[in-house]
Amino acid sequence: MEADRGATRKPDAGAPELRKVDLVGVGLNAADTIIPLPHFPARGSKTEYSGASFLPGGQTATTVVACQTWGLSTRYVGKAGDDDAARLHREAFARAGVEARLIAVPKGVSPQSLILVDGGGERTVLCRRDESMTLQPEELDRAWIENARVLHVDGHDTAAATLAASWARAAGIPVVADLDELYPGVKALMENIDYLIVSRDFPGRLMNEHSLEGALQSMKARYGCRLAAATLGNDGVLAWDGEQWFYNPAYRVPVVDTTGAGDIFHAGFIYGLLQGWPLERQLDFSCAAAAMNCMWAGARGGIGPVAEIEHLRATVAHYGGAKRYAIQTAS
């Protein structure tokens, strides 16, 4: 039976005709089982929980859905198994209006995550992924990529993402990346990224530097991206464009669940990029969108309308302590 897995892979029948979209995303979709806990369990302990939620997530898939919700036209490219998780994603994409180019894997097990959320809203993720669900370069259609204004990748399907990014670069399409792990081949991918927005510890691990500022500068110089940035959780975001530092603190909101905060941040950045906003406004809108999402459970639970995000920006305070970080960086 194992030999049959993934033997027939093709885009879903009945998919809509190709159109020009604002955003195409190539990367992870995952079904998240969210388990709220009063505190993270101690090793060897027993911890009771009162319930669990089965929700759609995944880095690129969530970013695409957020952008679609805010009025952009979007396309998602990825794999789908033969299970409840795949059906969950198809329904979510259809409900949002995303053009989903899902490549079916018969008997494949869709990516799934168990997410433990403690009483402070911080999440811990346990991932499960079937190797047959890895998107291969030969399964991509170049037209899916070239008929878009922006490409977004997360690095999970590294070889496919690298090919998509090279096509986008050749067509003059900007590429945004959300990277948090040193996947095999990720350095080749980074050579075709324009906006490299990564997790807090990624630059240091990649460039073997202790200083975040130094690692971001080295990363930009080495890979030639337009912007090198790191998201910092409740410390906000720090970005380097080669000439100037940009720092934006996070918004002070009641946190329920941090799942998907980085994905929504990237969606906010892409939305602002396509509006032609100055970088300072892009980063602030992204922080506000991420903060709003943290007020609800799940990767997509708090994707609010643009007007509500702007209202949050106008009425909610930033974390004051984070300003010290900006001062230290500027000096």
List, for residues 72-111, the tens digit of each pLDDT value: 999 999 999 989 999 999 999 999 999 999 999 998 888 8
pTM of the model: 0.89
> Which pLDDT belongs to residue 103?
94
Tens of pLDDT along 206-249?
999 999 999 999 999 999 999 999 999 989 999 999 999 999 99
Q: Report the C-alpha gap between 282 and 284 in whole angstroms.
A: 6
Enter the tokens of residue 327.
Answer: 């001062």
The confidence score (pLDDT) of residue 49 equals 86
Residue 48 has pLDDT above 90, yes or no: no
Query: Does 3.40.50.300 match the CATH number of domain 2-40+50-330?
Result: no
Cβ neighbour number for residue 19 with a 10 Å cutoff: 10
Mean pLDDT of the 14-33 span: 85
Residue 163 has pLDDT above 50, yes or no: yes
Query: Which amino acid, 189?
Result: L
Max intra-chain CA distance, the chain: 62
Q: What is the mean pLDDT of the chain?
A: 90
254-301 tens-digit pLDDT? 999 999 999 999 999 999 999 999 999 999 999 999 999 999 999 999
Distance of CA 281 to the CA centre of its chain: 19
Arithmetic mean of pLDDT, 146-166: 96
